[in-house]
Structure 1
Amino acid sequence: MKPYTENAPEERLNAISRDLAEAYPALSPQLKQAAGYVLDHPGEVAFQSVRGSASAAGITPSTLVRLAKKLGFTSYEPFRQVFQAALQAGSGELSDRASRLKSLSATRQNPVFTDVGDAAFANIGHLFTADNQTRVESAARRLLAARRIAVIGFRDTFACAYHFAYVGRIAMPNIALVRGLEGGLLTELAPFGEQDAAVIFGFAPYCAETLKALEITRQSDVKSIVITDTMRSPLVPGADLVFTLASDTPHFFPSILAAITLIEAILAECVAQGPAELVDNVTHFEQRMRALGAYVE
């Protein structure tokens, strides 16, 4: 079988389907059963675990692994990722994702709850790599060296930006959440310059306000840490440091679980690498909150 190196996700999936159809007559009965399931249920293959798909197909997980390897993949996971990428590229519309979710639920017995869980574990697994560990350590050093830190994320990624800014400010008061309300984006970003850093979140479909904010920070030579979903993201060019995160999910809205987890890792690394003053800031924050009655005993 040929390697699936086409750039477009749909082309890679189409190539797999063609090769499976051509090879089908010569496959063993178990592999035929596996191939039939893969051809008929690409949505399930994309978001179920190998065990979930094997159970639905009435075969063993090792059979699916053998099928993937027969097609030239080193393991099942990169095989499954082709299906995920193709389905996500097929439509970024939330309504289409919601319709697909409804149709999947109607055509099989596996609970959506399990599929969401499988996707969540896979997304987190892709985050914790040696390369990303190095990037997290680098991000922490850049943030600790910055005079001020702007955190940017609008619409679907505002939750990420807010979480980063809220938690981060407890230890690092120089963090500012950029809201861009009432046309104030330029005013908020005007004070930031070459001694500063920006943490920018953006996932497809990419928000016009985020791209505008990124353009402003680039013009001011602000150091940018971009957290996005692919190296093809329009946020990547010119970035000083890039994290690409998996956001796969059968849910109609892209998952931000990996982004929230990355935030925790970066901020934890900042406190671990940073001066004792950061720990003192956390202590003082907690004392103030308790004195103001913010917590219920």
Structure 2
Amino acid sequence: MLEPQTPSQEALPEAPAGLDAVNQQLAEAYPELSPQLKLAAGYVLEHPVEIAFQSIRKSATAAEVTPSTLMRLAKRLEFESYEQFREVFQSAVQAGPVELSGRANQLRSLASQTDDQVFLDVGDAAFDNIGRLFTADNQKKVREAAQLLLGAGKVAVVGFRDTFACAYHFAYVGRIAMPDIHLIRGLEGGLLTELAPFGEGDVVIAFGFEPYCAETMRALEITRANGVSAIVVTDTMRSPLVPGASITFPVANATPHFFPSILSAITLIEVLLAECVAFGPDNLVDNVARFESRMRAMGAYVEQA
């Protein structure tokens, strides 16, 4: 007969192994945190580089909390110490970004020769947003998301108001190679009806930036209840769209413009779909070829002499 375990014999929960796991766990726990822990968690989610290299006292001052609050946050995530918690951020930051072409710097140099500050500010924000997308951490997640999409029976694509352009672009381009991608429009109260066919083995990819649309939240609630895996593209790990997601991409959307930039989200879409075609079955390439042939046969393109 097995002896009952005493509390000291019970297996202790393990701390999250990587930065993405830490961010996901923080996002899941965020709504239930105390106001002080929310301040600490918000700072951690938004400032990974600072957490990696600042002292706990300096990070606490920047987050407007006490050092003990940051230590309590680390303990809540099952880390034995704040230093162990900070090592996760140091490892992720030291992995460094994936190398980008030098064209961006060349373009910035050319742009700096003019005196149109609005033009320059928008350009600076755009380059910065895309630069934040191409990191080693995101490279790994893109591969994981592509495999999830390739293994899905059906893919539902959700994005309303300011992110509808993202959802439409993903669905239109993606469906050329993968016909089982479906754009969810939710017109005239039809959201539930459109999402009813999706269940276990399917995937929903949802786009949403602050202010977050109630329809997007509702779509994720419906699909989660039906066992659909979710990929979320949003602006911060504090987003209410994050809890329950299998994979989350927090993309930078800062801009001097009065509306959040969707440039990083569109770029992410291109990367995801390219990854799917590059590493998916041969029939995806065949689907693209057949689509082009059909379009040309129907006169969809202007043929140049």
Name the TM-score class by shorter chain. 0.5 to 0.7
Structure 2: state its 5+ residue gaps: 1-54, 66-114
Written as runs of structure 1 = structure 2, the 5 A alignment for 1:169-208 is 169-208=175-214
Q: What's the counterpart of residue 111 of structure 2? A: none
> Could you say if the C-alpha distance between residues 111 and 143 of structure 1 is closer, same or farther in structure 2, counting changes exceeding 3 Å?
same
Match of 1:253 among 256, 259, 264: 259
TM-superposed CA distance for 1:249, in Å, is: 0.5
SS in 2 for 1:249: coil
Q: What's the counterpart of residue 291 of structure 1? A: 297
SS in 2 for 1:3: helix
Q: Deviations over 1:79-111 (max 9, x none)?
A: xxxxxxxxxxxxxxxxxxxxxxxxxxxxxx752
Structure 1: state its 5+ residue gaps: 13-108
Aligned residues: 200
Written as runs of structure 1 = structure 2, the 5 A alignment for 1:104-183 is 111-183=117-189
TM-superposed CA distance for 1:7, in Å, is: 7.5
For 2:62 and 2:210, the matched residues in 1 are separated by 18
TM-superposed CA distance for 1:182, in Å, is: 0.6
For 1:151 and 1:138, the matched residues in 2 are separated by 18
Q: What's the counterpart of residue 222 of structure 2? A: 216
Match of 1:276 among 282, 287, 298: 282
For 1:280 and 1:120, the matched residues in 2 are separated by 34
Matched, 1:3 2:58: yes
Written as runs of structure 1 = structure 2, the 5 A alignment for 1:48-59 is none
Q: What's the counterpart of residue 272 of structure 2? A: 266
For 2:132, the aligned partner's letter is H
Match of 1:244 among 246, 250, 262: 250
Matched, 1:228 2:234: yes
Q: Runs (4+) of structure 1 moved beyond 6 Å? A: none
Q: How much identity, in percent, do the aligned residues show?
A: 70
For 2:255 and 2:193, the matched residues in 1 are separated by 37
SS in 2 for 1:224: strand
SS in 2 for 1:282: helix
For 2:128, the aligned partner's letter is A
> Could you say if the C-alpha distance between residues 221 and 6 of structure 1 is closer, same or farther in structure 2, counting changes exceeding 3 Å?
farther
For 1:285 and 1:164, the matched residues in 2 are separated by 16
> Could you say if the C-alpha distance between residues 276 and 184 of structure 1 is closer, same or farther in structure 2, counting changes exceeding 3 Å?
same
For 1:216, the aligned partner's letter is I
TM-superposed CA distance for 1:4, in Å, is: 3.9
Q: Deviations over 1:104-152 (max 9, x none)?
A: xxxxx75201000000000000000000000000000000000000000
For 1:290, the aligned partner's letter is R
For 1:160, the aligned partner's letter is C
For 2:58, the aligned partner's letter is P
For 2:277 and 2:164, the matched residues in 1 are separated by 23
> Could you say if the C-alpha distance between residues 6 and 245 of structure 1 is closer, same or farther in structure 2, counting changes exceeding 3 Å?
farther
Q: Deviations over 1:221-255 (max 9, x none)?
A: 10000000111000000100000000010110000
Q: What's the counterpart of residue 67 of structure 1? A: none
> Could you say if the C-alpha distance between residues 235 and 252 of structure 1 is closer, same or farther in structure 2, counting changes exceeding 3 Å?
same
For 1:159 and 1:192, the matched residues in 2 are separated by 22
TM-superposed CA distance for 1:5, in Å, is: 3.8
For 1:289 and 1:228, the matched residues in 2 are separated by 33
Q: Where is the helix percentage greater, Structure 1 or Structure 2?
A: 1
SS in 1 for 2:58: coil
> Could you say if the C-alpha distance between residues 232 and 292 of structure 1 is closer, same or farther in structure 2, counting changes exceeding 3 Å?
same
TM-superposed CA distance for 1:285, in Å, is: 0.1
